[in-house]
Structure 1
Amino acid sequence: MTLTQLEIFSLVAELHGFTSAAHRLSISQSAVSHAIKSLEQELGVELFRRHQSRVELSDIGQQLLTRARTMLGLANTLQQEAADARGMKRGTLRIGSFGPTASIRLLPAILQRFRQEHPGIEVHVDEGPDRQVLQWLEERRIDVGFVVLPEERFDTFTLIEDQLVALLPLAHPLGEQENISLRALCNDPFILTEAGSSELVSRLFTGAGLKPDIRYRCSQLLSTLDAVKRGDGVTVVAEGSLPETQGPGYLKKPLKPAVTRQVGLAVLDRRQSSPATLAFIDLATRLNRH
């Protein structure tokens, strides 16, 4: 069993295909098939169920995937520690990011400085909803991820704190109020953004014993903002996720009582994190220190 076989196994599982994995690795499909067949023969189990257009992990394959990713992560850490001894001239860093707060407000400045200080580190960024970033961390598909805090399952590092705000159409009757209660937002059609702080928003209403009239579920914040501008409904979002524009076309009001949100970085285990991961975390916390 080799690390190359485990890397190919992990990528085939992630992409659900031999051809896709071959393209990603820039090798032939026959090389991918040979690596998987050799690994299955050595282990004595079938790792995948083959279908016409895609492959799926078998039950034992699913169980072994977590172990394989753990071994690959530890191997990457060893390589990074060796690179660190040479001045961190080589290595890989896999980052998970969600929504405008992380991907637009935080990540670009951190990445710019990181690449200046560590030009030899190859950086990969995957974007998805915040709950998917958590899943990627648990599956060891990323080294570090931006998350909404608190998260007890991981080692975390706070970067920023902002507040949740209500967004209303410009001509809304509540527009004259300085702040808005959750109860008042239950009288209008509600627009829920599936990415970012959707789970936090849902927990707020549930905790208050309220049920908003959810008419729209938007996967992107921009779709939510457009719906509010059209007068289709109201919503609650994190202030830090809003674009910095003049005359945005909607009203922004603090909640009553105020609700804050913290965004930070998370790793599965700081003690097993690579030098590149720790350097990224240190740089991010320094750049966002208030």
Structure 2
Amino acid sequence: MKRIHITLAQIQAFVTVAEARSFTIASEQLGMTQSAVSHAVAALEKELQVSLLERDRNGVFITEIGQRVLIYAQDMLTNAERMRQETSAAVGLETGKVRLGSFPSVSARFLPSLLRQFRQRYPGIEIILFEGTDDEVREWIHTRAVDIGVVVLPADGLETISIAQDEFLAVVAHNHQLAEQRQIHIRQLAHEPFIMSKAGCKPLITAMFRKAKITPKTQFEVIDLRTIFAMVQEGMGVTIVPEMALPTDSSGLHVMSLKPKHFRHLAFAVPSLETATPAVAEFLNEAKVWMQSLPSNVAT
């Protein structure tokens, strides 16, 4: 049986290019020349006797076999990082890297104080934050592109640690006919032009309307929350968003609680707590301690 001779440098080059979909970006992230990155990937392909990546004018694409190899390659890098962190911890050096996936509303309103506290306690552990939609973060967790992700519960197939509940609120223009109210029933929005968020909350919002046995008059479906709020300010419709998603400057908007109240329940999620690296385990432990200091109306 032929022995395969591959290096971690080759694995790292392949994984970085595959995740970035670009040799140029990968070379910048790795601090290598593009030629060196290409050579490393080519050497890996030659050793495995398969084509892992394909290039055309539109960019870099992962082949079918490359997709399967990528999962093992990411696991190899994770295990190598665990080895490094375990041995560093054995000699009293707390080092490592944590790749954290989140969505913008949580990144802006919930994470900064936790990240600051963690950095102060563990200056040798690097936190890299990736932002995306709910679905993107879940995909990143499953594909090992991130070590930890913020998800909305339930999260089948993942191990989770609950961190907060986020109340859904109705938002209308400040001069809207409903703007005199502080609370409304979702049925009062049934006949209003509705602007639906596609950033990840659509299934939860749709379920609210379905539970009330009504269908929203959805006029627009928008990903960018800034666009949604601008459209509401202009009187183009009403919307429902989580409290963490509200803009810092809400002038021109009127925010109301729903009755009954509706929440999304947020959690940190990992593929496996048992196989988490020491740095990831330290981050999750610090998060648990940090959450105990939060007001009871924020933490779950």
State, as a whole percentage, how many aligned pairs show the same letter: 37
1:249 is matched by which residue type in structure 2? G
1:161 corresponding residue in structure 2: 165
1-10 vs 174-183, which moves further: 174-183
* TM-aligned CA deviation for residue 196 of structure 1: 4.8
* Structure with the bigger percentage of helix: 1
2:215 aligns to what SS in structure 1? coil
* TM-aligned CA deviation for residue 209 of structure 1: 4.2
> Please, which of 69, 80, 83 is the counterpart of residue 64 of structure 1?
69
User: Aligned-pair RMSD on alpha carbons?
Assistant: 1.9
Matches within 5 A, 1:182-221: 182-221=186-225
* TM-aligned CA deviation for residue 149 of structure 1: 1.7
2:12 equivalent to 1:7: yes
Q: Distance in 1 between matches of 2:23 and 2:182?
A: 57
2:206 equivalent to 1:174: no
2:156 aligns to what SS in structure 1? coil
> Please, which of 125, 128, 139 is the counterpart of residue 129 of structure 2?
125
Question: Judging changes above 3 Å, is the alpha-carbon distance between structure 1 residues 52 and 255 closer, same or farther for their aligned structure 2 residues?
Answer: same
2:15 equivalent to 1:24: no
Matches within 5 A, 1:72-111: 72-100=77-105, 102-111=106-115
2:274 aligns to what SS in structure 1? helix
TM-score calculated relative to the size of structure 2: 0.89
Q: Distance in 2 between matches of 1:175 and 1:109?
A: 33
**How far does the alpha carbon of each residue in 1:154-201 deviate from its partner, in whole angstroms, 9 at most, with x for none?**
111111113111111222223344432333212111112222523321
* TM-aligned CA deviation for residue 224 of structure 1: 1.6
2:262 corresponding residue in structure 1: 259
Q: Distance in 2 between matches of 1:279 and 1:128?
A: 24
2:234 corresponding residue in structure 1: 230
1:254 is matched by which residue type in structure 2? S
1:55 corresponding residue in structure 2: 60
* TM-aligned CA deviation for residue 221 of structure 1: 1.9
* TM-aligned CA deviation for residue 88 of structure 1: 4.3
Q: Distance in 2 between matches of 1:36 and 1:226?
A: 46
* TM-aligned CA deviation for residue 222 of structure 1: 2.2
Q: Distance in 2 between matches of 1:157 and 1:139?
A: 19
* TM-aligned CA deviation for residue 115 of structure 1: 0.8
Q: Distance in 1 between matches of 2:198 and 2:154?
A: 19
**How far does the alpha carbon of each residue in 1:43-79 deviate from its partner, in whole angstroms, 9 at most, with x for none?**
1111122213522111111111111112211221222
Gaps of at least 5 residues in structure 1 are: none
1:277 corresponding residue in structure 2: 280
1:142 corresponding residue in structure 2: 146
**How far does the alpha carbon of each residue in 1:121-164 deviate from its partner, in whole angstroms, 9 at most, with x for none?**
12211111111111100110111111112212211111111311
Q: Distance in 2 between matches of 1:276 and 1:78?
A: 11
* TM-aligned CA deviation for residue 211 of structure 1: 2.6
